[in-house]
Amino acid sequence: MKQLIQDRQLFMRRIFLMCYDMLAVFVASMFALIIRFDLNFYNVPTEYLNEVWRTLPYMMVITLIIFWALRLYSSLWSYAGALEMMYVVSACILDAIVVAALILVRNWGDMFPVPRSFYILYGLFLLVLIMGCRYSYRGLRAIRNMRRDGTYRRNVLVIGAGEAGNQLIKEINNSRYVKKKVVGVIDDDKTKIGNYIHGAKVIGDRSCIRDKVLELHVHEIIIAMPSASPKQMKGILDICKETGCELKRLPGIYQLVNGEVGISKLKDVDVNDLLGREPVMVNLESIMGYVSGKVIMVTGGGGSIGSELCRQIAGHKPKQLIILDIYENTTYDIQNELKVKFPDLDLVVLIGSVRNTNRMNWIFETYHPEIIYHAAAHKHVPLMEESPNEAIKNNVLGTWKIVQAADRYHVKRFVMISTDKAVNPTNIMGASKRICEMIIQTYNKRSETEYVAVRFGNVLGSNGSVIPLFKKQIERGGPVTVTDPNIVRYFMTIPEAVSLVLQAGAYAKGGEIFVLDMGEPVKILDLAKNLILLSGHKPDEDIQIVFTGLRPGEKLYEEMLMDEEGLQDTENNLIHIGKPIELDEEKFLDQLEKLKEYVVTEPSDIREWVKEIVPTYQPKEE
């Protein structure tokens, strides 16, 4: 029924436009004659009037046909732009030419059946009348939108007076659903200041953002600078975050190129944008040939790092991708995602624990993986401090068992995800990962399998990381808890870290500990303040920041390398190789055997046993 009503409304609208156009042909014809004769109808010669009257029905039919062919009856004139204007101009010019030809053919031999100026004046008047009608739709829409001011509309400041800003402002002005009002535009280009974009004035450069926010009562700032570099974006955001306004931005230049600029494409500014670091660029196409056509297994494939590994590997045509995880919910999510994105992918999803020897043996014997990415691990420092035996069982024994299975079933390459917390560890999680690195180093010398480890720091947005925690605390109104005002951490996005892991895997020859360059460390206190500002609040005024003291096993700063390891460069200047530290392998394997037997008794002194294996482990006193 609703569709029937809409179809009828469309039909009536087209009939109205056709009737108007026929009237416009008549009015344009009369005006073309009257203008020629000094605006006096009675001065128009009768023969000219008769010729126009005789030709008028043909002119109307011709006009309707040309206008229909050029889609003047099927355009949405409420949103008419430059393309529709081009159609109108073309239609009127073509109509004037055809009418001139018609009149001359009908009066063959008579050079002047109507004044010579008639044809030009007719075309011009027709253009004015048609444009006036069609574009009045936009005018009425704008008036209606202005009348909406009775309802609440958020004042918006747009930063960027380029093409993206132009398209956004146009959409905001035209949409009946967007409850926003553009009160000004900011651009650093001095030549644009003082000009208008769809009625919005370019009011200054970035230096006046704070003043204009107060003066114009701005609620929201939209950054329409899709081509800005991270450094430029950070400079703008450092100013905008102090205003207390809600911040949104366009995702990137590709949206502008593809014509996808619009309100629906805006995303919230997040803390990643405030790091101001150029994104890590890795040409995976050149180095991912080693996974193409091979059976790949990712342990911990449902986790933050593991799931991103699966996404990037799936896009490079592996023969088969096996996801192994003990936690079914996130594993189910990544399974569904990959099925949609890569329908031709041979995907196997298995639930199981790396601590289960029989399960691992069955998986290896059944699927024969050629490359393994081992991301399964307990990683939360405070939780592992409370349950140190579980850290050893899962991280150390789980890794050992899957390493042994890889050796037994002749896996070509084994890449283990490690952490900067393995360097001079002060917590049991870091110490357990250091033992895992030692297992990798030991088995590489005893097996045909190439065993390597990749060590990196914190990843932004990973499960259980500090940023989601801060966001939840801000949503509750605070306080935001920071352990120490001086604590710093290295950060990298999940896709960046995983890209480097994959590239390190391509470089692997066996026995290496790859160390990723994480850039400059970030103060957690600054991170907390920025998140509070981005949420539209002021730190220590609207939302308090509370210092809780370092947690058990936590350090003020993390290290990526032990002093004796040294560094060796690779082709990628963001990936380095730590020189393996010599160890007594027989003694180490004997310690592992004893640790395996001892930890299952749930001892209370497991840290002392771990300290014997990892001399650099210095547990913090309670």
Q: Residues with catalytic annotation?
A: 421
How many Å apart are CA 339 and CA 553, to the nearest integer? 40
How many Å apart are CA 181 and CA 171, to the nearest integer? 11
With contact defined as beta carbons under 8 Å apart, do 415 and 374 qualify? yes
> Who contacts 201 (Cβ-Cβ below 8 Å, separation ≥6)?
184, 185, 194, 195
How many Å apart are CA 158 and CA 172, to the nearest integer? 11
Query: What are the C-alpha distances in Å from 111 to residues 50, 101, 317?
Result: 16, 12, 74
With contact defined as beta carbons under 8 Å apart, do 407 and 439 qualify? no
User: Residue 510 CA to chain centroid, in angstroms?
Assistant: 36
How many Å apart are CA 372 and CA 451, to the nearest integer? 10
At 328, list the tokens.
């079914």
How many Å apart are CA 212 and CA 207, to the nearest integer? 10
201 SS3 class: strand
Return the closest-CA partner of residue 437 out of 460, 414, 464, 470: 414
Q: Count other C-beta atoms under 10 Å from residue 259's C-beta.
A: 8
Total count of residues recorded for the chain: 622
Return the closest-CA partner of residue 489 out of 577, 573, 420: 420
At 517, list the tokens.
């360059």
DSSP state of 38: T
How many Å apart are CA 223 and CA 483, to the nearest integer? 33
117 SS3 class: helix
The one-letter amino acid code at 528 reads A
